[in-house]
Structure 1
Amino acid sequence: MPQRLFIDVHIVQTVPPANVNRDDQGNPKEAIYGGVRRSRVSSQAWKRATREHFDTTVPEHNRATRTRRLTSELAKRIVHDTKLEREKADRLAGALLTRLNLSQGKKASDTAYLLFYGNAQLDTVAALIAGQAHDLAALDDEKLAEAVKDLPVADAFSTGHPVGVALFGRMVADIPKLNVDASVQVAHALSTHETQLEFDYFTAVDDKTEKEETGAGMIGTIAFNSATLYRYATVGFAQLTDNLGGDTEAALDALDRFVDSFARSAPTGYQNAFAHRTRPSLIAVVVRDDQPVNLVTAFEEPVPSEAGIQATSVRRLAHEYAEASRAWGDSPLHAAATHTFTTDEPRSKETAEALTAAFGDRISFDELRSGLRERLSAVLEAQG
């Protein structure tokens, strides 16, 4: 088991006019920080986007699903494995999951809350009765309950966690045994500067409008803002390894996939209306053995609303990291960054130099990921 290791991921990313994460009024989420209003994207929104991204890189069998329709999903697998009629499969699935004592939702087939599980874990539950499904389906309710009462249904959800569950954890209030402590913490993304809420007034024309008709077929408004965001996440490598059954190679793979997906993903709110997908201008990773450190304090004093917010934000982050390291006597085990600033361009020279002083020479994103893995492997080997 690795000792205390935390991998901090710092990202600066500029998003054009957009509404990627709405509040209950339909407006972009906001927060007051440093005495001014900032654009905000919730951690939940970016975690979901991250999970959906890395789910596309692994086979469906190894993915995780979060749903209330656990009974229905299990019934589908029973039908697939046994060719049993769906109604009978629903009954068997209900009998199996009754052993978990999950609180029921408004619908009899739904749980009271979303349950996060691995697709392979549910396959394991279905396999528990694959060879006797037709015989079990012929039993009455009382005998069926007796026949499945000793099957290790809960155990199937307690081991073999997929990457999604190993990273983001699982909370099951009814069954503490099924809880999985998250190995990832994701901060709410905040703009590095003050933002103002704006509204897009739009009209839509009816293509079949008669000549004598005037006016729009539809009128409306969409709230939006634009922002340079500071995004932060940290991974507890020891917890991640534990969640994956002590397999350090699997944990290294999971970490690599998380860094890749966290950097490349984005929530999709109003995506068709704004086409807001961009890539970060800075991604920095820091490996620590003391504690995670969020560098949002670099932006407690908002970056002035003038040209060059992105570059100023990146320099602020580099300086905050360097100064905090000196003040606290930090000695990170590894630090590296990929970014879009070069010393060849006069407008970005100062920024590139600040980043080099803080994180070392600029490298590509692929080199960032491979270097992180190599450094962690060396640390783990040294730890024994």
Structure 2
Amino acid sequence: MDTKRLYVDFHVLQTVPPSCVNRDDTGSPKTAVYGGATRARVSSQAWKHAIRKMFAEEMADMVETGKRTLKATDLVAGELAALAPELDDARLKKGAKKALENAGIKLKDDNNAALLFLSTAQARALARLAAEDCEEKDDYKKALKENPSVDMALFGRMVASDPSLNYDAAAQVAHSISTHAVQNEFDYFTAVDDCAPEDSAGAGHLGTVEYNSSTLYRYATVNMVELVHLLGAEKAAQAVRVFGEAFIRSMPTGKQNSFANRTLPDAVYVTLREDQPVNLCGAFEKPVRKSPEGYAEPSKTALKQYAQQVYACYADAPAQSFAVGIGLDELAPAMPLNQMLTALERAVKEKLPGNEV
């Protein structure tokens, strides 16, 4: 593409009530120390998983997703069965294993030795080569390299046994942190034995769940040059739209049944940048202090002031900006989410080859 650099930055402020969205190895909500204060934290991996899950469950008609699995042999064998229905299960499995091995994937028994991210188109291409009894290993590698799914292009792929099959992720997602200091709390709960005698005393079970509540600053950026390289211009513009919607609307499901903490953002700020991505987390290096308005409103003020400071001192203002929700009008005019996503997709298309204005 002619544009050498084009990044779409997503900044989200989102209030989450008492919850345990993302747990550590002890079951406690994840935290981080930032600006000398303990913050609530949700890992980037947790939110990327939520995005991929939303792609598959709610946006399947809009976005193609791949499978990250140890059972790539089964995926290829399934595609091979459609091409060669005369083959029995043993021959299908043998053909699929040979196709993956020719592509450079190490197998252990009937499975790949490490997780493999595979698109349906790639599995089908490998199966086609196997059905044709192709002996050229480079053709198998090419089949496994071409036609990535949208989530593969966004989040990347690592193949330890053959780095030539890797994809650099076009999207980067930051760990979400609270804009203010937090202190974890404990919920003490009991469960009653429904079949216990009426004269019995005590609970059938008791325990504690650790939780916190916070206003989170969430950030992600998409490298459109890399996305276009992997998907092509038209598909890349659609991909950044569905990524934006999923990033804004998704929620990791940790302890969801216990807390019902599914919320939507308080404010969203999206920018198109032609220099570099700019994470605005510095707005909250000094923790936001509690106020009669809670944490969301002063967090919006801090975000606005810090963004304007960055643009005045260190980086140019974005080429284009969009906002959803109330309170960021100084940065961009507010509009409904769907309208913003449509405007974003249109603006990205105008920056891509043959559409420059």
TM-score normalised by length of structure 2: 0.92
CA deviation profile, 1:70-101 (whole Å, cap 9, x unmatched):
11222233344434333332222222212133
- Number of paired residues? 351
Shift of 1:128: 2.5
Change (3 A) 1:288 1:209: same
Larger Rg: 1
Correspondences of 1:233-312 after superposition (within 5 Å):
233-244=220-231, 247-307=232-292, 308-312=294-298
Range moving further from structure 2, 308-317 or 82-91 = 82-91
Local SS of the residue matching 2:275:
coil
* Contact preservation (8 Å) 1:237, 1:251: yes
Q: Could you tell me which amino acid in structure 2 is paired with residue 182 of structure 1? A: A
Q: Does 1:222 align with 2:222?
A: no
Aligned counterparts of 1:337 and 1:193: Cα–Cα separation in 2: 22
Q: Could you tell me which amino acid in structure 2 is paired with residue 369 of structure 1? A: L
Q: Identify the residue that residue 135 of structure 1 maps to in structure 2.
A: none
What value does the CA root-mean-square deviation take over the aligned residues?
2.0
Q: Which runs of 5+ in 2 are unaligned?
A: none
Change (3 A) 1:370 1:219: same
* Contact preservation (8 Å) 2:270, 2:321: yes
* Contact preservation (8 Å) 1:282, 1:338: yes
* Contact preservation (8 Å) 2:154, 2:227: yes
Which runs of structure 1 show a deviation greater than 4 angstroms over 4 or more consecutive aligned residues?
381-384
Q: Identify the residue that residue 321 of structure 2 maps to in structure 1.
A: 335
Shift of 1:203: 1.0
Q: Does 1:194 align with 2:197?
A: no
* Contact preservation (8 Å) 1:190, 1:229: yes
Q: Could you tell me which amino acid in structure 2 is paired with residue 103 of structure 1? A: K
Q: 1:93 aligns with which of 96, 99, 103?
A: 96
Shift of 1:113: 2.2
Q: Identify the residue that residue 8 of structure 2 maps to in structure 1.
A: 7
* Contact preservation (8 Å) 1:96, 1:148: no
Q: Could you tell me which amino acid in structure 2 is paired with residue 267 of structure 1? A: P
Q: Which runs of 5+ in 1 are unaligned?
A: 133-146, 342-351
* Contact preservation (8 Å) 1:338, 1:364: yes
Change (3 A) 1:123 1:192: same
Shift of 1:253: 0.4
Aligned counterparts of 1:78 and 1:369: Cα–Cα separation in 2: 39
Aligned counterparts of 2:119 and 2:227: Cα–Cα separation in 1: 15
Q: Could you tell me which amino acid in structure 2 is paired with residue 168 of structure 1? A: F
Q: Identify the residue that residue 137 of structure 1 maps to in structure 2.
A: none
Range moving further from structure 2, 249-258 or 49-58 = 49-58
Q: Identify the residue that residue 377 of structure 1 maps to in structure 2.
A: 349
Shift of 1:124: 1.9
Shift of 1:212: 3.2
Local SS of the residue matching 1:356:
coil
Change (3 A) 1:242 1:301: same
Q: Which has the higher helix share?
A: 1
* Contact preservation (8 Å) 1:50, 1:258: yes
* Contact preservation (8 Å) 2:63, 2:239: no
* Contact preservation (8 Å) 1:319, 1:358: no
CA deviation profile, 1:85-137 (whole Å, cap 9, x unmatched):
333322222222121333345xx22323221121221122122234x6xxxxx
CA deviation profile, 1:354-377 (whole Å, cap 9, x unmatched):
x21122x21111121121122223
Aligned counterparts of 1:22 and 1:32: Cα–Cα separation in 2: 16
Percent identity between matched residues is 40
Q: Could you tell me which amino acid in structure 2 is paired with residue 8 of structure 1? A: D
